Structure 1
Amino acid sequence: MLPRPDGQSLAYYHTPGFSPGVIFCPGFMSDMEGTKALALEKAMTSLHRSYTRFDYMGHGRSTGSFTDGTISRWTDDALAILDNCTAGPQIIVGSSMGGWIGLRMALLRPERIAGFVGIAAAPDFTARMWEDMPPEGRAAIEKDGFWAEPSEYSDEPYIITRKLLDDGPRNYLLNGPIDVTCPVHLLQGMQDDSVPWQTALQIQEALVSEDVTVSLIKNGDHRLSTPDNITGLILATERIGNLRQ
């Protein structure tokens, strides 16, 4: 557990190994025990590459309330793991919201980030949340400060708070160039009903980096967690690792 200045603690697992290491950033209401996080850990540690996975505040085994979380707070959590639990250059692997947070990390710690792999990376998704929210959701946000949106990925609803939506614009990336210069590989399913596949192309266009690969998986969904998808993730991550050794 990594103590935070406000009394919260972040749960993480770190396996030492070769550099550059890999840090996995989970998605919204996801955690470090997911299929992709564990499969990538097994692959990277078998290659003796350093690997770190963690839970944001209010997620998984970390302390705190999920409803107190924002993109700014969860980015700070990820940076705390980077700064305090890893050494040397790191490849960030970000899934969905973790892709937004991972790109923010690359902007804020360019000297530490050797590469970025996005899995259905979802920068600026809070804007789409509000745009797509039905009238009853907007009414709940205005009245109660949150809306419990039914989730197709979990029995638990997604809790969308006014705090999360208000904080989103402070972290937007697609409203201008993204000054990330490290190698980037974006993995995106074309059957993704949470993140439009065109988002990957928007990210590619916005990135300053000249080494950007976009892999569109025609039958891929949002999770991209089939065995073939996992193999593609491992290969993309290790390609960047070999580039930066």
Structure 2
Amino acid sequence: MKLLSILFVLLITISCDKKSEVIYSGQRVIIKPVSAGVEDIDVVRWKVGLMRNLTVSRGIQIVVNFPKIDKKHLHFLVDKYGVDSWVIKVKRRGMMRNETMGYLYIPLILPGQKNVMRINQLSTGSFKVYYAASAVSSRFSNLPCPAFNHDLLIEKVELVTSNPLVTNLVVSPVEEERILAKVEEFNYANTVINGGKELRGEYYLEIAFYNTKRKVKLSNFIELAGVGKVVRERSVPISGCENYTIPPRGKDENLYKKFNFGN
């Protein structure tokens, strides 16, 4: 029985570290990612009210598995095409909208000594999509009564399987294109995207290779497997906040911090 348990753990470890298939074809390199996609979606709670005794939602947290590439292939992509990062396009679709929420880049190369390449492939990461009331600033995020009349509680989220039509990344000079939108660096501790006043909808991710200095994508974008879905949100009355006004910066902020209610 113990031997079976060890074999099971080894199988899980090997499958989780499975490398993407790489094909060289003339001036193109084709990568077939495996074991990559949206892994999980969770609700982030927010304690609000003058006594911090009521609960609404700050937003959601999305966990994603990134493609893994053998180091020899990654070295080639760096030397030949200037790849140094992944770029993630965060998208949301709903009944009346299909929009890009933002761009994040995840470094594949770490700073090091001259002529020394330090490969760093993050296997799993997460980011948050917050309501505007919590995403705008840390000051707004700590208010006892949320700004913009925010009072929504996310009641249900789902992780939905998906089968994207295009699954191969193609690195080629033909695919090079400058990304004009702001591309935020992925922060391992706290990456937050402003989702606006409502979050209901389906969240999916597209990924491509990227050069941070030139701000250029170096491959096509492909949609990753898996969709995080905010199914239902409802309004929660926040008693005591009916006539609350946001204090000027610095004023009365310590009054709420000293109670250490938590958030």
Where is the helix percentage greater, Structure 1 or Structure 2?
Answer: 1
TM-score by length of 2: 0.23
TM-score by length of 1: 0.24
Task: Please tell me whether Structure 1 or Structure 2 has the larger radius of gyration of its CA atoms.
Answer: 2
